[in-house]
Amino acid sequence: MNNVLTYLEWSEPDLRVVRTITEAAVTRDDIFVRKLVNATVFRNALFEHTANECEDGKRHHIYAKPFNKFDDAVYGQAIQNALHEYVTVSPYMEVEYLLWNGYRFNPCALPLLQPASPLEFAQLLLDHYIVSEQKTYETVYTVYDMDRSKIVVFLKGANL
């Protein structure tokens, strides 16, 4: 059964919704995954999530604002650049990992961590750290790219 998910652009200075970004009929499991990411790409524009809500258990809303690369002095510009550098498209939702090398994010393979169901995606998005082949990575930021059907996970090596 599909539910309506509406992305609304929120203006903090005006304390109101300024426009509807997009609306889609999606499964309940898909809504869960989309609410867990930090941001979403719509037609090559990155919007950071500010809040989400559910109306009467049926209509779901994600409030978002245009991503400001200056809000995060360390990763902001690099996140925005990486989203435009790697443009592989998938016919269904899949994960893409990008690893921080000190000044930019580069593709990396975590072969054992390829979620196949919405519940597995949600589990990945709930974890702050990922351990793969005895290496620990910290999740820095997560983005759902609607145009490419990708969950992009930005990682950095963790020194625990």
Q: Closest Cα to residue 101, out of 138, 155, 150? A: 155
CB atoms within 10 A of CB 122: 15
Please tell me the least confidently modeled range out of 62-66, 79-83, 131-135, 138-142.
131-135
Instruction: For the chain, give the mean pLDDT.
Output: 91
* Reported pTM: 0.92
pLDDT at 160 exceeding the cut of 60: no
User: Do 34 and 88 meet the contact criterion of CB atoms below 8 Å apart?
Assistant: no
Domain layout of the chain by residue ranges: 2-66, 74-157
Please give the pLDDT value at position 112: 62
pLDDT in tens, 120-158: 899 999 999 998 888 899 999 999 999 899 999 999 998
Pairing verdict, β 16-27 and 2-11: antiparallel
User: Do 34 and 4 meet the contact criterion of CB atoms below 8 Å apart?
Assistant: no
